[in-house]
Structure 1
Amino acid sequence: MAEEITFKRVVPIIPVKDLEAALARYRTLGFTAHAYDGPQRYGFVDRGDVSIHLTEWDEHDPARTAASVYLYVSDADAVHDEWTAAVEGHFGAPRDTPWGLREFTYVDAEGTLHRVGSPLKS
């Protein structure tokens, strides 16, 4: 009998026009961030168990090639307060959803939509 295959984690790869600016923005959002030490313009950002990769792409156009990520956090309201105090961008107010999450949205300068949610408190 074959051993069951397990998936360990997934890491989105987000296109950016300016890798250094994107790394700085994620640092401001509380992530650790560093560029790949090689010829490719590639970066890594991490916060807790969340990892995102960034790839600098000259043809990235936020109107056509932007990405979306959903970040599950322990307290969406606290993250919203932290992020709105730290960076510019388009933020949606936290709200309760019919699917049992408290969530908000943040669209960064590269056009990436970050949906951030936490379980509703009972």
Structure 2
Amino acid sequence: MDSEQPAVRASPIFPVTDLPRALEHYAALGCTVSTHDDGYGFAAMGGVELHLVVVADHDPLRTAAAAYLHVPDADAVAAMWADVPRTGAPVDTDYGLREGWHIDPDGNLLRFGSPLPSTG
């Protein structure tokens, strides 16, 4: 009997207060955006699909979400997002990754990172 696990995908769900604004924001990051209805939308890029749901009582200090994006080149992502406010330049970490960050208008965090080149 084959013991391989089936492929699994994850789609983080980010709470937003204004769906059109959120879709415009994620389009500016280079995502393909679409809507399901007035309260639910999608932002997709490179195999990642974020679900954006309107939450009337969303408080970014209490109910924001986060996702980590494993990318081939953190500097390339940072350069692509450089003109979008609240994007942090990547830094080298002591655990072997180069990581940056982005916070959307609703306080949701996208961290992104790539492996540091080996120095061996």
TM-score, shorter chain, exceeding 0.5: yes
Describe how 1:71-82 pairs up with structure 2 within 5 A: 71-82=69-80
The question of 1:105 aligning with 2:108 is answered no
1:18 is the counterpart of 2:36: no
Q: Which runs of 5+ in 1 are unaligned?
A: none
Structure 1 segment 1-122 matched on structure 2, within 5 A: 5-36=5-36, 38=37, 41-85=39-83, 87-89=84-86, 91-122=87-118
What amino acid does structure 2 have at the position aligned with 1:62? P
Offset at 1:27?
0.6
Alignment partners' CA distance in 2, 1:53 and 1:92? 23
Residue identity in the other structure for 1:25: H
Residues 121, 3 of structure 1: alpha-carbon distance in 2 compared, 3 angstrom cutoff:
closer
Q: Which moved more, 1:55-64 or 1:91-100?
A: 91-100
Q: Secondary structure, in 3 states, of the residue corresponding to 1:109?
A: coil
Contact 2:91–2:98 (CA under 8 A) maintained in structure 1: yes
Per-residue CA shift, 1:13-52, capped at 9, x if unaligned? 010001111111111101100110x4x5101111111111
Q: SS in structure 2 opposite 1:77?
A: helix
**CA gap 1:2/1:116 in 2 versus in 1, 3 angstroms:** closer
Normalised by the length of structure 1, the TM-score is 0.87
Structure 1 residues 72-100: Cα deviation after superposition (integer angstroms, max 9, x where no partner): 11111111111122x122x3331111222
Consecutive unaligned residues of structure 2, counting only runs of 5 or more, are none
Q: Residue 63 of structure 1: SS of its match in structure 2?
A: helix
RMSD: 1.8
Q: Which amino acid aligns with 1:92?
A: G
How many pairs were matched up?
A: 118
